[in-house]
């Protein structure tokens, strides 16, 4: 992965540190003929509310995730 992209992603995730996960919702979307699965994570702490949205390739997520998982944990 490009180091600049990796840094930006880690920087974004860091913004949610020490916040409590309050809820999560999966939503299916179709963009450009491709099925996407989104996961909206809602966080809250001390009156501050933030939402993280993860966009996943639905076919990959529900089909090949086991092979990817096995590669990652090697």
Which sequence spans correspond to the domains of the chain?
3-73
What pLDDT shows up at residue 56? 77
Pick the CATH number of 3-73 from 3.30.360, 1.10.150, 1.10.357, 3.30.420: 3.30.360
Q: How do the pLDDT tens digits run along the chain, 74 residues long?
A: 788 888 988 998 898 998 999 999 988 888 788 878 888 999 999 889 999 988 877 666 655 556 666 665 66
SS3 12: helix
What's the pTM?
A: 0.66
Buried b (16+ CB within 10 A) or exposed e, 8-33: eeeeeeeeeeebeeeeeeeeeeeeee
What pLDDT shows up at residue 27? 87
């Amino acid at each position: 992965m490009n180091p600049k992209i990796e840094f930006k992603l880690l920087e974004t995730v860091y913004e949610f540190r020490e916040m409590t996960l309050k809820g999560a919702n999966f939503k299916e979307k179709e963009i450009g003929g491709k099925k996407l699965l989104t996961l909206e994570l809602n966080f809250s702490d001390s009156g501050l509310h933030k939402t993280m949205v993860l966009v996943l390739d639905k076919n990959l997520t529900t089909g090949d995730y086991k092979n990817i998982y096995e590669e990652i944990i090697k």
